[in-house]
Amino acid sequence: MAAAAKAQAEREPEAGDPHLRSAKEVMGYHIQALDGEIGHVRDFFVQEDCWCIRYVLVNTRNWLPGRDVLIAQAALGKVDWAESKAYVALTRQQVKDSPEYDAKNPIAREYEERLHEHYDVPAYWMQKPLV
């Protein structure tokens, strides 16, 4: 199998819902802001009781050396599976000026409030549940 075809086959989901993807597959996807690339997916923060993605941890080492940032789920846009890219409804400046993420400390509600306010996106805890 040619290298390009093999890479495409590895990105294709197995039989089933084409919208379901492994989080592991998305690791490393490039993140595209409204005005340019900001980094790549490093990890996800998931709320255990509902398995909802709350934040994406983005490594910005190629743009903002030595900085990881959290992107709120509400700022996430489409994912381009063929291009291995995810889009966010944020500018590079919004990401650059975002509240500092400290991996050594758990994410506190105060930090979440600052983050959502900074990105000007709705807070997940203020929204009605889907069920």
CATH number of residue 115's parent domain: 2.30.30.240
Structure-model confidence comparison of residues 98 and 1, the more confident one: 98
Number of domains present in the structure of the chain:
1
Q: Is residue 3 part of a domain?
A: no
Given a contact cutoff of 8 angstroms between Cβ atoms, the answer to whether 57 and 42 are in contact is yes
CA–CA dist 44, 118 (Å, integer): 20
pLDDT score for 65: 86
Domain enclosing residue 83, as ranges = 22-120
Q: Which one is predicted more confidently, 68 or 1?
A: 68
Bridge partners, residue 59, by sequence: 40, 68
| Percent over 70 (pLDDT), the chain | 81
Residue found under tokens 């294709």: 12
- Global confidence as pTM: 0.79
Looking at residue 4, what is its pLDDT?
47
For residue range 77-124, what is the model confidence (pLDDT) as tens digits? Answer: 999 989 999 999 999 999 999 999 999 999 999 999 999 999 999 999
Look at residue 16 and tell me if it is in a domain: no
Give the SS3 label for residue 96. Answer: helix
Q: Is residue 126, in this structure, part of any structural domain at all? A: no
